[in-house]
Structure formats: C-alpha cells, structure tokens
Amino acid sequence: MKKTIQVFCKSKEARMGLLFAMPAILGFLIFTLGPMIASAFFSLTEYNGVGTPNFIGFENYEVLFTTDPAFKNSLSVTLQYIVMSVPMNIIVSFLIAFLLSQNIRCRGFFRAAYYMPTIVPLVATSIVWKWLLDPSSGIVNYLFRVMGLPVSRFLFDEQTVLPSMAVMGVWQTGTTMLVFLAGFQGIPRQLYEAVEVDGGSAWRKFKNITVPLMTPSIFFNLVIGLINGFQTFTQAYIITSGGPNNKSNFVILQLYKEAFTYGRMGRACAIAWIIFVIIVILTVLNFKISNKWVYYESGDRA
C-alpha cells in the first residue's frame, strides 16, 4: 500500500511539474520549433507569402550561391563587419571591465553609466548616431573642423561605413562588459597575493593570472558576438538602407528585402537557413578550438 501511494505521489508531482512547464513547452513549440519547420519547407518552394507555395526543391539555395550577387555581397559585408566589430567590442569591454573592477571612487556610477546605452532602443541609438556622424551638420565633423582635422563622410562613404558601424557597436557593449566584470570578481584574490609575495609586478599578475582565468568569459563573449554579428540589421536599415553602393547591406537586411520588398519569401527562408548553418558551424569550430586556449581555475583546459 505504501509503495502504491509513493508511486501515485510521484506521478502527481510529475503531472504538476509538466503542468507548470507547459507554458514554456508550448511557447517553444508554437513560436520556435513550428516556425523553423515551416521556414525549412518554404525554403524549398517559390512562395510570396500569400499564395500557394510551389515546390521547387533546392533551387533557391542554388540561385543564392550561383547567380545572386546581392546575397554573396551581403554575406561578405557581414563577415567583414564581424571581423572588425567582435574583436573591438571584446577588447574595449575587457579593458573597461578591468578598470571598473578596481577599487575606484564612484565605481557603481561608472558601471551603471556604461551599461545604460544597452537598455536604450537600438532604433533611437541609430538615429542619434546618424545625426552625430552626419557629414555636413554632425557634431563629430564639427569638432574635427575646430581641431583642424580632416572631416569624413563616415556612414555615407563606401570605405568608412563598416568601420563607423563597428565603432557604433562599442556604444552598446554593456552586457559584454558585465560578463567580464563578473569574471574579474570571480578570480581568487589569494592568487594575486601569491604573486605579490614572490615579488611579481602588476604586468605579471595581469598576464599570468587575469588573462588565463578570464578566457572562459572571453570565449563566451566571442561566441555571442559572432551570433549577434550575423543578426545585425537595425543600424543599416535605419541609417543607410544598405548603402552606399550596398556596402552596408548585411545578410539579415538582404533577407528582409527578399521577403518584404521583392516578395520572395521562399528565398528569404533559404537565406535564414544558410545563416543558421553558418552560425552552427562557427560555434562548433569555436568549441573545438577552445580547448587550446580556454583555461579554468582548476588549471584544466576547456
């Protein structure tokens, strides 16, 4: 009898657990898994989002990789942007987090101030940066003129649009900084004290303790930065619309144009799946390579 009651209680607990988890399960099935399956099907069709899909197999993928220069350009632009922005964001956020982990006055204020731009809507931030970097009336070029420096067209020149957007991205790396800050606070103080006892310099502490024990945080931000880089859209859509001369036409912006400008929903779904596969491959490669440079407090590699 006792065993029967225990089985019933366990079964009841299982049912209650499933009941409370059901909103998350349904949300995943309806808003994530369902759309993914649908987009996989539509990527194999000629579909404008309204009529009946016409199954064409892998023709959308073939066109994208062979006869569609706009997609190739957008993929190249996105990769160039990632190469510029991800290292810059990681280095700047790392240095700022390192400074904010020290015992300085008003440390809480500076932490909040640096994180604040992250919670500002990206649309508003893009509009402000468009005004700041305006070639004729922007405050940045005005300051350049006052200091006797050459002015720039920034977001409106083929050569400078991507570097300008990469610099803009540093403005919203507060979350990256918080991850690094948490990593700095997790480093045992006794390790630094041991180096001091041995007469080690500040550089030695930074090189032999700080950097190795921060590699897990660096690795995490690297993976997240790569994923976010492939999802860049708002800045280009608001400021440049992909210009000048498609030099800021990111792959997500190209996906948007295929779906809602040209009415080629099937091809847009194909682009989405190509991006998904690229992100998965890069993430797996990062995990494979991480065991060569990511260290943990125990001294073991990843």
252: how many CB neighbours lie within 10 A of its CB? 20
| Cβ atoms of residues 266 and 46 within 8 Å | yes
Q: Which residues contact 230 (CB under 8 A, 6 or more apart)?
A: 78, 82, 251, 252, 275, 278, 279
**First-to-last C-alpha distance (Å) of the chain:** 50
* Residue 11 confidence (pLDDT) above 80: no
- For residue 299, pLDDT over 90 is answered with no
Residue ranges and CATH numbers for the domains of the chain are 69-290 (1.10.3720.10)
Query: Hey, CA dihedral for 165, 166, 169, 171, is it positive or negative?
Result: negative
C-alpha closest to that of 63 among 267, 236, 302: 267
pLDDT of residue 221 exceeding 60: yes
Q: How far apart are CA 142 and CA 101, in angstroms?
A: 35
pTM tops 0.85: yes
* Residue reference for tokens 């989405």: 272
The amino acid at 286: N
**Cα-based distances in Å from 206 to 177, 200, 201, 232:** 18, 10, 9, 33
pLDDT at 4: 55
pLDDT tens figures, 18-75: 888 899 999 999 999 999 999 999 999 999 888 899 999 999 999 999 999 999 999 9
Strand 45-46 and strand 54-55: the pairing is: antiparallel
> Which residue matches tokens 């890069």?
282
The answer for residues whose C-beta is within 8 angstroms of residue 131's C-beta and 6 or more apart is 137, 138, 139
pLDDT at 198 over 90: no
DSSP E strand stretches across the chain: 45-46, 54-55
Give me the percent of the chain exceeding a pLDDT of 70: 95
CA–CA separation, 92 and 217 (whole Å): 14
Task: Tell me the CA distances in angstroms from 247 to 114, 119, 152, 191, one per residue in order.
Answer: 30, 28, 16, 48
Model confidence over 262-287: pLDDT tens digits? Answer: 999 999 999 999 999 999 999 999 99
Count CB atoms within 10 A of the CB of residue 272: 21
Average pLDDT over residues 219-237: 94
The mean pLDDT value for 218-234 works out to 95
Upstream peptide bond of 163 is cis (omega within 30 degrees of 0): no
Q: Band of the pLDDT at 86, cuts 50, 70, 90?
A: very high
CA–CA gap between residue 230 and residue 271 (Å, rounded) = 12
